[in-house]
Amino acid sequence: MPGKDSGVYGDPMLAPITALRGVGPSLAQRLHKLGLERVQDLLFLLPLRYEDRTRITPLGELRAGDRALIQAEVQLCEVAYRRRRSLLCSLHDGTGWLTLRMFYFSRSQQAALKPGALIRAFGEVRRGPTALEMIHPEYQLLQGEDSAPPQDTLTPVYPATEGLQQGRLRALVAQALARLEAGGLADLLPAQKLAGRSQPTLVQALHYLHKPPPNARLDQLAAGAHPCQQRLAFEELVAHQLSLRKLRERVRQGKAPVIRPDPALSASYLSSLPFTLTRAQDRVIGEILADLARGEPMMRLVQGDVGCGKTVVATAAALAALGSDYQAALMAPTELLAEQHLATLRGWLQPLGVEVGWLSGRSRGKERTQTLARLASAECKLVVGTHALFQDDVSFARLGLAIIDEQHRFGVHQRLALKQKGERKELQPHQLIMSATPIPRTLAMTAYADLDCSYIDERPPGRKPVTTVAIPESRREDIVARVQRACSEGRQAYWVCPLIDVSENLEAQAAEETAALLAAALQGLRVGLVHGRMKPAEKEKVMGEFSRGEVDVLVATTVIEVGVDVANASLMIVENAERMGLAQLHQLRGRVGRGSEQSSCVLMYKSPLGETARARLEVLRSTDDGFVVAQRDLELRGPGEVLGTRQTGLMQLRVADLLRDAGMLPQVQAVAEKLYQEHGQHTDALIRRWIGQADQYGEV
């Protein structure tokens, strides 16, 4: 609604879109589907492309494939009843001929397109049976040779929705531009904030992009590289940066427990580990402990490649909370991953006298009741679980630290619910968020600006790179023989299938069928099976057998994507690899290479490979660096897919492209910080302009 901001800026652009002529409830509903709720939203609905209707092309110069504006006289108009009823109009302008073809027409149209009528039309030129033709072009009938001249600017083509034609959208944008000319939109990025960028003003940029001159660089506009587009992209990124900056400030205004580790407990933990921490792990633990000691809520994201040792770091943080007499909770997105964390933490901590509790959606009866009571009384200091940790009947006495693993798999409200479990006496728990799916650093600069980011960018010593090959399915027998050789030499192998049951829609080998076939083909080897529909006890039994070396080949669905750690497993076979994303394939590959043996990953694919699938497999063949994989994943899939659920409602960028515009992010950060410190009123207005109320997503 206009009231609040129009009072500050005199800004009629914030009026509801129904304030425009011709916009009633029905049209407003269609416009809302495009995210158009206020008048100014029309200005930021930028064209997808442009058409040149500034010059009339003689019919004799037309070529098939052209999109052109023509003007000619109707010579003949008739209804043809060949394969399909159509209205055919033959046009002539003295230089050549063209046929207009319409499959849907009225009697009044047919009557108006009579011989001698002068018509101006725009459309795509195609080859017809006898001559060049346009099918259902946009056209208008002209009144004599003194008709209006062609347009003097390029014609925009906007994103559309059902029941909303381009002509109507252009007319509404024209109304919004008229209001803009009356000075109704404040420029919230003063020129000095754009020093060094030589960018146009906001008004100049909007006018140009909706009405480019005939000599505009269409290639530059199509690439999003025009200075006017870059001006808007810069402002949009600043708005998102400010939104996350405000979120971060709100979090830091809260209070959290002051947590300092018990030196004796921490020393006992580190000395009991069967390995030495890497320098990267030491550095990240130091960053976390510094946060915990400040008394303001920690919001730290720890990123690292598969196998880099994030769990060791998280455990050190949890022990710090316990050392200050607070509770810690570790939440994982799946039962299998949570079970793996439970086994790992119990193996490390029970010898130190630290009990680790367990709570999942399948916890029942007396076991669940006892766990809930011990959490509510603080008798249980450390608990591992799934989303069950934030259910209504779960209560923590002194939750000081919430650790969230594989954060991209949780929705915002789920993490918020866990944080709220720990709010006591105006204190809120610290949050440590972990991700084994690296986010490219340029993307993290914007998408995670509300978080402090730590990177474990060093692998434990002795880890060898995993050799990755892509092999067509036609060589299945060779791959089976390779598994036979590896297991006969005392090693173990994974064989991953994406489905449990045979599907007619996806030509993928089912895990159960594959397990049976491999058991018959692999002489003398023990084959196990794990999939998501098995009962937890069944999965745990098979995984335990595999971990102890009692199973040679583990056939599994992608439930083993994260959390499974068997050092003797040195061979990973992934069926139908062309169907999977880069991040998922990299996670699966990370299940091997955890011991001293040279490990391999075989990506089996079904021919022929599409271009995108081929590119994905080539990336995995060429690198096992998770951050490189993440960057290529960003390029192939785009930011929305890479970020997962976190940015729902926030990173719906209208103009900016985080991949294309990564180079401006450092200056975006600098300008956003200066605006935040010196122009608070601009901060709020920018956020409302580009995000609306979506910044409320971040109350985590």
- Ordered DSSP codes for 262-331: -HHHHHHHHHHSSSPPPHHHHHHHHHHHHHHTTSS--EEEEEE-TTS-HHHHHHHHHHHHHHTT-EEEEE
**Low-confidence winner among 111-120, 220-229, 534-543 (lowest mean pLDDT):** 534-543
User: Looking at the DSSP assignment, which residues form a beta bridge with residue 352?
Assistant: none
**pTM for this one?**
0.71
Task: Grade residue 643 by pLDDT with cuts at 50, 70 and 90.
Answer: low
Q: Which is higher by pLDDT, 456 or 82?
A: 456
Cα-based distances in Å from 661 to 13, 210, 391, 544, 632:
27, 21, 41, 48, 16
> Which residues is 529 bridged to in the sheet?
555
In this structure, how many other beta carbons lie within 10 angstroms of the beta carbon of residue 255? 13
How far apart CA 374 and CA 387 sit, in angstroms, is: 18
Q: Say which amino acid occupies 280.
A: A
584-605 pLDDT per residue, tens: 888 889 888 877 788 999 999 9
Please count the CA atoms within 13 angstroms of the CA of 393 that sit on its side-chain side.
13
> What is the structure's pLDDT at 229?
94
Ranges of each domain in the chain: 3-50+157-216, 55-150, 263-456, 467-623
Decide if domain 55-150 falls under CATH 3.40.50.2030. Answer: no
In this predicted model, what pLDDT tens digit does every residue of 519-540 receive, in sequence order?
A: 999 989 999 998 877 777 788 7
pLDDT band at 508 (very low <50, low <70, confident <90, very high): very low
User: Is the pLDDT score of 658 beyond 90?
Assistant: no
- Predicted confidence at residue 419, as pLDDT, reads 61
Closest CA to 237 of 677, 649, 650, 633: 650
Average pLDDT over residues 483-512: 75
Q: Is the pLDDT of residue 146 over 70?
A: no
Specify which residues 293 forms β-bridges with: none
* DSSP state string for 97-162: EEEEEESS--HHHHHHS-TT-EEEEEEEEEE-SSSEEEES-EEEEE-STTPPPPPSSPEEE----T
Q: Three-state SS across 193-246?
A: HHCCCCCCCHHHHHHHHHCCCCCCCHHHHHCCCCHHHHHHHHHHHHHHHHHHHH
pLDDT, tens digit, for every residue of 246-293?
Answer: 877 887 788 999 999 999 999 999 999 988 999 999 999 999 999 999
pLDDT value of residue 72 = 94
| Angle between helices 310-323 and 279-292 in degrees, nearest 10 | 30
| Integer Cα distance of 71 and 121 in angstroms | 6
DSSP state of 184: -
Residue-level pLDDT at 209: 96
Whether 693 has a pLDDT exceeding 90, the answer reads no
Single out the residue of 459, 452, 461 nearest to residue 432, CA to CA: 452
Q: Is the pLDDT of residue 4 over 50?
A: no
Question: Considering all CA atoms of the chain, what is the largest pairwise distance in Å, rounded to the nearest integer?
Answer: 99
Helix (H, G, I), strand (E, B) or coil at 383: strand
pLDDT tens digit sequence for 91-105: 999 999 999 999 999
For residue 185, is pLDDT > 90? no
Other CB atoms within a 10 A radius of the CB of residue 345 amount to: 19
Helices (H), 404-526: 412-421, 441-447, 476-488, 511-521
| HSE (side-chain half, CA atoms, 13 Å) at 92 | 6
Structural contact between residues 602 and 471, judged by C-beta atoms closer than 8 angstroms: yes
* pLDDT confidence tier of residue 697, bands split at 50, 70 and 90: very low
CA atoms within 13 A on the CB side of 80: 16
**Band (640; pLDDT cuts 50, 70, 90):** low
Euclidean distance between CA atoms 246 and 685, whole angstroms: 13
* Local structure of residue 58 (DSSP, 8 states): P
pLDDT value of residue 70 = 95
In angstroms, rounded to a whole number, what is the distance separating the alpha carbons of residues 617 and 582? 8
What distance in Å separates the CA atoms of residue 465 and residue 548, rounded to the nearest whole number? 24
Question: In this structure, what token pair is assigned to residue 267?
Answer: 């020393």
Strands of the sheet containing 452-456, edge to edge, are 356-359, 382-385, 327-331, 399-404, 430-435, 299-304, 452-456
- Per-residue pLDDT, averaged over 422-444, amounts to 77
Q: Find the Cα–Cα–Cα–Cα dihedral 534, 537, 542, 547, rounded to 10°.
A: 130
Q: Which fold has domain 467-623?
A: Rossmann fold (3.40.50)
CATH topology of domain 263-456: Rossmann fold (3.40.50)
| Cα–Cα dist 659/424, whole Å | 41
Q: What is the sign of the dihedral through the CA atoms of 137, 140, 144 and 149?
A: negative
The pLDDT score that the predictor gives to residue 567 is: 83
Residue recorded with tokens 């005392």: 490
Mean confidence (pLDDT) of the chain = 84
Residues in Cβ contact with 48 at an 8 Å cutoff, skipping those fewer than 6 apart: 157, 158, 159
How far is the C-alpha of 4 from the C-alpha of 222, rounded, in Å? 36
Burial 268-281 (b: 16+ CB within 10 A, else e): bbeeeeeeebbebb
Q: At what angle do helices 227-253 and 680-690 cross, to 10 degrees?
A: 110
Q: Which residues contact 124 (CB under 8 A, 6 or more apart)?
A: 65, 66, 67, 134, 135, 137
355/346 Cα distance (integer angstroms) = 7
For residues 115 and 121, give the distance between their C-alpha atoms in angstroms, rounded to a whole number. 16
DSSP class of residue 79 equals E
Query: Same fold for the domain at 263-456 and the one at 467-623?
Result: yes
Nearest CA among 136, 406, 424 for reference residue 254: 424
Which tokens go with 426?
């105006």
Q: Of the segments 6-10, 112-116, 658-662, which one has the largest average pLDDT value?
A: 112-116
For 394, phi and psi rounded to 5 degrees? -95, 130
626-634 average pLDDT score: 81
**What's the rounded mean pLDDT across residues 363-388?**
90
Q: CB neighbours (10 Å) of residue 178?
A: 11
Q: Are 69 and 52 in contact (CB under 8 A)?
A: yes
Closest CA to 336 of 554, 190, 605: 554
* β-strands 382-385, 97-102 pairing: unpaired
In the predicted structure, residue 6 carries a pLDDT above the cut 70: no
Average pLDDT over residues 658-682: 84
